Structure formats: C-alpha cells, structure tokens
Amino acid sequence: MPILALQNVSKSFGQLKVTQDVSFEVPEGQALGIIGPNGAGKSTLFNLITGNLMSDAGSISFEGRDVTRVPAMQRCFAGIGRSFQIPQPFANLTVFENLLVAAMHGRNASQKAVEQACAEIVEQTELMSVANNAASGLSLLQRKRLEMARALATDPKLLLLDEIAGGLTDAECVALIDTIKSVHARGVTIIWIEHVLHALTSVVERLLVLDFGKVIGIGAPDEIMNRQDVREIYLGIDV
C-alpha cells in the first residue's frame, strides 16, 4: 500500500487552474523529487497534501485513509510533516522552543517527554549554537535548517521539503543533503520540491515533473531528465 496517494486532485484560484487532475502514489520509504518551472503549482500541491489548502476535486489518502477533507492539524497528527518554501519560523520563540511546540503538539506529548528528542534534532540539524536564540535573528541557512528541524520534531512518517536548498552555497547544500539522507535512511518517506537538481538527484529515487498544474512525467531521475519535453519545459533547452 502506498503511504500517499493522490487521485485526480484539482485546485483553482478563480479562473487560474493551479492543480489539474493530479494523480500519483508514493510507496512507503521512498524519496520522490518534484521539479517544474516557477508557477507550475508545486507549492500548491504541497499545501493540498498538508491540508493548508483544500482541494476542489479529487481525493488524497494517507496510509490508506482518506484525508481529503481533514484539516492541517490532524494531518500533522497522522504523520505528515512539512517545511515551507519561505521559512515560517515562530519568530519570537527560540530555535529550541520552535521544536518543542512542534513536538509537544504534533506528537501530543508533555514537554518532559520530548525534550531529549528535540535536543537531539537540534544537534542533528546543526543548530546547537543558536538553540537558545530567537528565530527572528537566524541566517537563511539556519532558517532552512529550522524548517526541517521543526518538521522532524513532529516525528513525521512523510516529510515534505519545499525548496529547502534554494539560496544556499554549495558547501551549505552538501551539509543539508547529508542531514536529509540520514532522515531518509531512518525510513522516513520524503517528497522534495527543488530547483537545485544535483542536490535533489543525489537523494531521490523518483522524479515527478509538474507543468501548468499537470503531471507530465514521473519515473527514474535519469529517464525523466533525458526526456525531450522535460528538458524543453524545465531547462529551456532547445533540442
């Protein structure tokens, strides 16, 4: 049984169809990459999966359960964790408190029960030096790390990463990939939207291409990247 399945999911904002008839499945434990030009509807697709937006048509199921109408909060309880493309930290809380609130509420546990786990995630995501600093003062890399750390704090089965490597230097990117790989190695299913292709392909086993809200291809990364239509749409290469 796939951990996540979308069937004919559509979403419009007024006249603009941002998600059109999207169907795909993600087997448990897999890492799926999503690529597509800006405005292809990638982040909207994430918002539909997490429940931050509700779809107009189609169905979404998680672990075999229909979650199409389930609100974001309950999808988090079910095991869907996410990062935001533009980091959305709780600015007045410290890094550690950002994780605490996510762990306590996402896992419905007491502070005592999650303190150690949060501290370990802070360590794993290399945020220990700023653990007690307010999130408002973090650098871009630290904010991206915090996005991932906070999602991990909810102990997700499915982790959605939205352009987590965008805007980072190569060295920063390498460190982030290491962290993502180790999360994936623990068996967490990952869906990762990314423009930084080398980062993406070093982790994911499958690629999905989105254009104008439609899935135009899904398959092994090599196979997808060699397709002429993908190269034209995505890389703007005339072949």
Partner 1 sequence: MHTHTPSTPYFVTTQTRASQITMMLAVALIAVLIILPFFAGRVLIQDMFFILTMLVLAQFWNLLAGYGGMVSIGQQAFVGMGAYAMFGGVILAGIDPIPAILLGGLASLIVAVPTAFFAFRLQGPYFAIGTWVIAEVMRLVMAQVKALGGGTGTSLPRSATREMWATEWIAELFDVRNSAARDILTYWLALALAVATIIAIYALLRSKPGLALSAVRDNPEAAKSVGVDAGRMKWFVFLTSAFGTGLAGALIYVQKARISPDAAFSVTDWTAYVLFIVIIGGIGTIEGPIIGVIIFFLLQSLLADYGSWYLFTLGIIGIVVMLFAPRGLWGLITEKTGIQLFPIRRRLSGGPLDTSKY
Taking only Cα atoms into account, the Rg of the chain, rounded to an integer number of angstroms, comes to 17
Nearer to partner 1, 190 or 224 (CB): 190
Q: Which stretch binds partner 1 (CB under 8 A): 1-9, 19-27, 65-73, 196-204?
A: 65-73
Cβ(176)–Cβ(144) below 8 Å? yes
Cβ(213)–Cβ(19) below 8 Å? yes
Q: Is residue 122 part of the contact set for partner 1 (CB under 8 A)?
A: yes
Query: Interior CA angle at 173 toward 167 and 179, to 5°?
Result: 130
Task: Give the span between the Cα atoms of 51 and 210, in whole angstroms.
Answer: 20
Q: Is residue 96 part of the contact set for partner 1 (CB under 8 A)?
A: yes
Total residues found in the chain within this entry:
239
Nearer to partner 1, 32 or 100 (CB): 100
To the nearest whole angstrom, how small is the minimum distance from the Cβ of residue 94 to partner 1? 6
Q: Which of 66, 178, 229, 232 binds partner 1 (CB under 8 A)?
A: 178
Cβ(220)–Cβ(47) below 8 Å? no
Strand, coil or helix: 189: strand
# chain residues binding partner 1, by CB under 8 A: 51
Q: Is residue 68 part of the contact set for partner 1 (CB under 8 A)?
A: no
Q: Is residue 154 part of the contact set for partner 1 (CB under 8 A)?
A: yes
Q: Is residue 100 part of the contact set for partner 1 (CB under 8 A)?
A: yes
Residue in 63, 65, 66 with CA at minimum distance from that of residue 28: 63
Question: Cα-flanking dihedrals φ and ψ of residue 198, to 5°?
Answer: -65, -35
Q: Is residue 233 part of the contact set for partner 1 (CB under 8 A)?
A: no
Q: Which of 17, 105, 214, 231 binds partner 1 (CB under 8 A)?
A: 105
Q: What is the largest CA-CA distance in the chain?
A: 59
Q: Which of 106, 213, 217, 221 binds partner 1 (CB under 8 A)?
A: 106
Q: Name the DSSP letter for residue 227.
A: -
Residues that bind partner 1 (CB under 8 A): 50-52, 71-73, 76-77, 81-82, 84, 88-94, 96-98, 100-102, 104-108, 110-111, 115-116, 118-119, 122-124, 126, 128-129, 131-132, 150-151, 153-154, 175, 178-179, 182
